[in-house]
A and B are shown apart, each in its own frame.
Chain A
């Protein structure tokens, strides 16, 4: 009975992301005992956990879009670029007239939709390989962002826009609320409609999905558009948080962090099996890891190596073989009797 329960825990797809996150937190607490402490200052919450959540917000949002793209056997490596273009678009409009916050937001989101539609067109309708199709926008889009900003960092001063990045609602930073809203909406979209089922069907067996009369390409197109939209939201959060739009560096390598977050969360890169909750945990792991390496004093030049090692370990542990090994080990540990019996039966 206990072994059955242990086995199902060991098999649970979210086990390792949760364990990793808990271990990272434990490491932080061991290093600084007040790590988990959250204080109330001027009606705002402050503390390391809040800080991590706040900084992880853009990555969480982008990774959700990436999760669905990967679930239909795709990939979108242009999200970092879309972050830059969306931020640049908003900054330019706000530079003209700081009161046009609504229009700036609409423009940024529109850029995201457009970028997603372009990717969706190439992948779902033209039939290009996703990595190549989105590589085009990744490279060319960076150029567009640089053209828009004229290669300069454009400062943003519009109060309304900046509140998204550094403001608070009900004591909690706006960015966290926005990320939370995207998480909730995405999960409603996937679980309350039939989208989740259809996405998994396309990811697991695209041929069979077509033969049941599914509009696979329309769904894939929509998913790329959605991914572009999440990138644009991340672009708004980022530009608002740093009070400027930087065509060269905004969102740089964000696509890789997003893919990493998706992978850490247990979504299969082969498509089909995906987990939104896992992705959120994955994004939090990445942000916590960054925070931890700085706070425990890993020299800046070594942080990437430390990050790589942690990611490697988590990915290996999540592989099917390692999982079988661990499940077997747990079973044997929890019920030495039944396993010896099983062995004699085999003989």
Chain B
């Protein structure tokens, strides 16, 4: 069924400062197949794709296209070789017409002017090949996301495509849209294009894939035929063998001190927001870590943002020690002692051009108001204290935060909240994009804080991490809480089954 080998990597290696992102990866892609790349966050999927598409260049190893060794210095070179990529978000111009989007940058011309007839006919034809018919003169934003995605695919494959790479294309689609997308992919497969598919969704993997490559910790764990790999086997290969039991003793030790601490208890009852997350119940107690598990787009971050007041909830109430409170903005949440380390550290967490000192005192200063400055000496004391306490590695406290590594930036954001003496911390993917050593260090700090009586809501895509430290885990799927596990129920396979759509 599958055709010749189109794309191949041999011993591909790529490292970033402090991280081995890819180690010795062999990967094969055949014409006419759908090949899915699976792995947890940080497994190296994105890096592999970035190297294949010329975003990064590899340090060692070889990429071969049709048996010829190549090296892409820029995305355009990969594109010229027939490797086309679609990212998670649709990368088109919503205000232009469908036809303009398909031909943007390579408009056919007639006597110097743009040949609109050819554009419209060409766009129709490109879509027809995918079995789609649209009014191509309408602007793109009149169509739903799923259709926009198809347009993006039509643009990608309309000229000499050999390989189509789809990086989590389904995270914003509903079921019927996904099946439409898959029809398109099957069409492409028939016409001999090699499709490389990246997703977190297990079901979808099996619905469309011929072959699966599993990545773990920057290495290729293995390559399998989809029909020969049962789902729990796949999950085990992604996660690896993680010793879960050893770490759970912490809970018992933490309990004694937790009871003495006066931190309040936070209750969310039926808190929801249309289009973001269905009404959800969640209780956070002092000295406890509650994990939120679920795939990307399952409503984890949305839940956290509602609790922090970053988005306004339409329904439900939040109580602190039984007293109903209004959390309409982050400022209210901070007043009640809630801190939030956001998922996108660069965009929402750090204030890039400011120094470590300024970043650390920011939340405290914001709470004091502008007319009550902490003063340079006190700022310095606070910053130096946390730099030492959290082991932030930097030249000094005046270094701009943008120059630090991801792990150290995360510690600074953590320090910012510790400085306000919080009652509860929301940690959204605190270890994303951080090298393994720093990852463990940060989780170690989090557990220490918890033992001191701080309540923690932990969101992480790494189920093993959530399992390792959480007292309870709420599992989310499709923007809804499907189960809450505690005690003996905290079992990796149970969590994966729930995430994948089964029963506990």
Contact = CB atoms under 8 A, between A and B. Distances in A.
A206 to B, nearest CB: 10
A328 B101 CA distance: 43
29 contacts: A193-B371, A193-B372, A194-B369, A194-B371, A194-B373, A197-B365, A198-B365, A198-B366, A201-B354, A201-B358, A201-B362, A204-B351, A204-B353, A205-B350, A208-B347, A208-B351, A209-B366, A210-B310, A211-B348, A211-B349, A212-B334, A212-B416, A213-B329, A213-B331, A213-B333, A213-B366, A213-B367, A215-B366, A273-B353
Contacts of A212: 330, 334, 362-363, 366, 416
Nearest to B364: A212
B49 to A, nearest CB: 27
Counting chain A CB atoms within 10 Å of each CB, which of B361, B366, B373 scores highest?
A: B366
A219 interface: yes
A207 interface: yes
B340 interface: yes
B194 to A, nearest CB: 39
Given A201-B358, A207-B347, A212-B362, A194 B353 contact: no
Contacts of A211: 308, 310, 330, 340, 342, 348-349
A208 B348 contact: yes
Contact of B352 (A194, A204, A209): A204
Contact of B370 (A207, A219, A272, A273): A219
Contacts of A205: 347-348, 350-352
B368 interface: yes
Interface residues of A, number: 22
Interface of B: 308, 310, 329-331, 333-335, 340, 342, 347-354, 358, 361-363, 365-374, 416
Nearest to A198: B370
A109 B331 CA distance: 33
B335 to A, nearest CB: 8
A40 to B, nearest CB: 42
Nearest to B310: A211
B366 A195 contact: no
A195 B370 contact: yes
Contacts of B371: 193-194
A200 interface: yes
Contact of A194 (B331, B351, B368): B368
Q: Return the 10 tightest CB-CB contacts between A and B, nearest first.
A: A213-B334, A214-B366, A194-B373, A212-B363, A213-B331, A205-B351, A195-B370, A194-B370, A204-B353, A213-B366
A213 B373 contact: no
A195 B350 CA distance: 18
Contact of A209 (B334, B342, B351): B351
Nearest to B420: A213
Contact of A213 (B330, B347, B351, B354): B330
B370 A193 contact: yes
A204 B310 CA distance: 19
Contacts of A215: 331, 366
Given A194-B369, A213-B330, A213-B363, 6 more contacts: A194-B365, A194-B371, A201-B362, A209-B351, A210-B310, A214-B331
A162 B145 CA distance: 66
A211 to B, nearest CB: 5
Contacts of B340: 211
A297 to B, nearest CB: 44
B411 to A, nearest CB: 16
Contacts of B373: 192-194
B406 to A, nearest CB: 16
Nearest to B344: A207
B354 A200 contact: yes
B421 to A, nearest CB: 14
Among B308, B347, B365, residue most surrounded by chain A Cβ atoms (within 10 Å): B365
A205 B348 CA distance: 8
Interface in A200-252: 200-201, 204-205, 207-215, 219
A208 B374 CA distance: 20
A198 B371 CA distance: 11
Contacts of A194: 365, 368-374
Nearest to B365: A194
Nearest to A194: B373
Nearest to B338: A213
A191 B125 CA distance: 63
A169 to B, nearest CB: 30
B353 A200 contact: yes
Interface string A168-201: 0000000000000000000000001111011011
A197 B352 contact: no
A272 B310 contact: no
A214 B370 CA distance: 10
A211 B310 CA distance: 7
A237 B42 CA distance: 62
Contacts of B374: 194
A272 B350 contact: no
B5 to A, nearest CB: 38
A273 B353 CA distance: 8
Contacts of B416: 212
Interface in A93-127: none
A97 B252 CA distance: 82
A213 B374 CA distance: 16
Contacts of B342: 211
Q: Point out which of A197, A205, A272, A273 has the most chain B C-beta atoms below 10 A from its C-beta.
A: A197
Contacts of A195: 370
A215 B373 CA distance: 15
A205 B413 CA distance: 14
Given A213-B367, A273-B353, A197 B358 contact: yes
A192 B366 CA distance: 15
A10 B255 CA distance: 58
B429 to A, nearest CB: 15
Contact of B349 (A198, A201, A208): A208
B362 A197 contact: yes
Nearest to B332: A213
A196 B333 CA distance: 24
The CB with the most chain B CB atoms within 10 A, among A192, A194, A200, A201, is that of A194
A219 B329 CA distance: 16
Contacts of B372: 193-194
B142 to A, nearest CB: 25
Query: Quick one: which of B308, B342, B370 has the most chain A CB within 10 A?
Result: B370
Most interface-central of A194, A213, A214, A272 (chain B CB within 10 A): A213
Contacts of A209: 351, 362, 366
Contacts of A213: 329-331, 333-335, 363, 366-367
Contacts of B335: 213
Nearest to A192: B373
A264 to B, nearest CB: 20
A83 B310 CA distance: 39
Contact of B350 (A208, A210, A273): A208
Counting chain B CB atoms within 10 Å of each CB, the highest count among A200, A211, A219 belongs to A211
Contacts of B358: 197, 200-201
Interface string A267-278: 000001100000
Contacts of A198: 365-366, 370
Contacts of B366: 198, 209, 212-215
A164 B333 CA distance: 49
Given A194-B373, A219-B370, A204 B363 contact: no
